[in-house]
Chain A
Amino acid sequence: MSAQSADVSATARAHGRKVAAVAKKTGSDSIPDNEWIARHQPWYKRLANHFRRYWEIWTMILPAVGFVLLFNYVPMYGIQLAFRDYDVTKGLTGGKWVGTEYFEQFFRDPLFGEIIRNTFRISLWTLVMGFIAPIILALLINQIASPKVKGFVQTITYMPHFISTVVIVSMINIFLSPGTGLLGRFFGRTSLMGDPKAFTSIYWISEVWQHMGWNCIIYLAALSSVDTALYEAARIDGAGRLQLIRYVDIPTIMPTVGVLLILNMGSILGVGFEKVWLMQNTLNITASEVISTYTYRIGILDTQFSYSTAIGLFNSLVNFFFLVIANYIAKKTSDTSIF
């Protein structure tokens, strides 16, 4: 510490006029403002001071920063592959520049319309239903008076969230198998998994089933912060149970709803790859081919790296666009935003 203060006083002497200015500012002749002096040192001294003080924090965060840079930002740099011909010998970024050729190829692709329609249909259904269900469930669970019963209901509803996608899809397959399955036997000989018309419904219903309980935690947290005086006041004014939900509970969770809606909008074309891929079969492919599965098919299986990167980039850009739009609208209308 003494070395530091000696350093500061030396600087103070060197910047005599500035110190005088500070003294005038603080209204005292004798006490120099150390912070002001530290802020007005040359940049290399400030940098040295910073590292002397915070080198430990840097050692804490550097491993994580390194991982993020390597595994998130290097692939982002590699996006330029979408504008180049992939060349095995030249690696990620060395191929010939071809501009937007691969994007045009995607727009001309005979499957383009079908893939976009499938992606929008599946993700919109999942988004809307997967968004409404947890809100309703949270409002209902919040009505349970006994903490024990409430805890039990929550424990049960969280459970499916931890089941892996592979297991969920195989459960769907077994339950829907025609004739013998738990649900399949009600549909006679028709195979629901092989029916393109049923694909979207199976997808979003199983999504809601799996994640509804987990996603309602955040609303329950918001509801638990309601001031009980509000309920009492509303009761005295003659509000019934449903009116309490309508005029107290729902306004309480609205900010949370807004933020989550924005976050969800960012994945409007982000139908999870794994589940669609696992649910796909040759019979339902016309309804189940989405952007991410097509990227995988073209890229990893057919090794058309540049084309596949272009499709992936198109997907990311559309998602990002919707995120920004949703954020802008929410900011204008309700003062909720994520950035």
Chain B
Amino acid sequence: METVINSKTAHMTPEQKAAAGMKRTPTNRHVHQKLTVSDTVADVIIVLILALVLIAIIYPLWFVLVASFSDPTAVANGQVSLLPKGITLAGYAKIFHDSRIWIGYRNTLIYAVLGTAVNLLVTIPCAFGLSRKEFRPRRVIMFLFTFTMFFGGGMIPSYLLMKQLGLLNSMWVFILPGAVSVYNVIIARSFFESSIPEDLFDAARIDGLSYWGYFLKIVLPLSSAILAVIGLYYFVGHWNDYFTGLIYIRDQDLEPLQNVLQNILLANQTKPGMAQLTAAQSQNIGDQIKFGIIIVSALPLIILYPFLQKYFDKGVMIGAVKG
């Protein structure tokens, strides 16, 4: 149970670090020293590589956005590179009138919101309980949980279990089987162990608070960061879930967004004998709709991203504690 990283300082904010008398920037730039030639060369190479990596990551995403607004023929001829050409909303208009996408959208929204609520209700109290060191059975229970990260029953026994439980073709298959993610339990438990001072517990005990009272009144208000991180992990997981729909859902009205996307985006990919049938023109319009659908389907995450990205580091760093 030793920590991989220095857990004492890792989750502190820069302000806290400054207050604790630590240096703010752990970089190795030292102005009082003369830069050597090899250092300058190294700097240039580092900047170049980083710039290339950034472009390689951002450009495809930017291109999808630009192409969804552009004239599809111009996109196919390679005339669109940085800015949209022949701006048109025709693709989005077609998407707007496709009822399949909206059914998928509605389903996934329900599954994701309800699923994340159940996830948090089950995961967070459990993680708190397992963070109490005086609770001896926690070691056995942690082992029981961790073991499932490395070994499982596999696809078919799970499928047959869902069948016996009557979860096939039911919305609950999106919510119940994945209610606990062991990885998230470990992250939350590490957070409670390392970030909530033990003195608070002693004080709460003296004031006569029970475990539930201490958890609800003292710990939860101090844990908004971890709630945000774990809520985000779960929500993204639900939003991007394709596997559950593929295996357990046959009813089209219950299909989540990702499976609808698969039907639209990948159904007419290059399969022998099929590609030649479609005329170049309609192929291009199809591509434009695809670009638009990609943007529309990622919209909730794009909106959430700026608000939540400050929590990302925190979540992974807390999770860097061994289970």
Contacts and interface: CB of A to CB of B under 8 A. Distances in A.
Q: Is the interface of B mostly helix, strand, loop or mixed?
A: helix
B135 to A, nearest CB: 5
Contacts of A58: 129
Interface string B60-88: 11011000000000011110000000000
A141 B50 CA distance: 8
B247 A300 contact: yes
Nearest to A74: B161
Contacts of B123: 64
Contact of B29 (A145, A259, A292): A145
Contacts of B16: none
Contacts of A296: 155, 247
B294 A167 contact: yes
Interface residues of B, number: 108
Interface stretch (A5-13, A18-26, A155-163): A155-163
Given A68-B144, A153-B50, A240-B42, A78 B153 contact: yes
Given A72-B148, A167-B261, A241-B42, A282 B271 contact: yes
Given A75-B158, A209-B57, A218-B320, A61 B36 contact: no
Nearest to A163: B298
Contacts of B150: 266, 319-320, 323
Contact of A312 (B58, B156, B290, B323): B156
A128 to B, nearest CB: 18
Contact of B312 (A142, A160, A217): A217
- Counting from the closest, the 6 A-B pairs by CB-CB distance are A75-B153, A78-B157, A312-B154, A164-B240, A64-B126, A60-B129
Interface of A: 50, 54, 56-61, 63-65, 67-68, 71-79, 81, 91-92, 137, 140-145, 147, 153-160, 162-167, 169-171, 173-175, 177-178, 180, 182, 185, 191, 193-194, 209, 212-214, 217-218, 220-226, 228, 231-232, 235, 240-242, 244, 248, 255-256, 259, 266, 273-274, 277-278, 281-283, 292, 295-296, 299-300, 305, 308-309, 312-313, 315-316, 319-320, 323, 338
Given A63-B125, A78-B153, A170-B294, 4 more contacts: A156-B57, A218-B5, A300-B156, A323-B150
Interface of B: 4-6, 9-10, 14, 23, 25-30, 33, 36, 38-39, 42-43, 46, 49-50, 53-54, 56-58, 60-61, 63-64, 75-78, 121-123, 125-126, 128-130, 132, 135-136, 141, 144-145, 148, 150-161, 164, 176-180, 182, 185, 210-212, 215, 236, 239-240, 242-243, 246-247, 258, 261-262, 265-266, 269-272, 283-284, 287, 290-291, 294, 297-298, 301, 305, 309, 312-313, 316-317, 320, 322-323
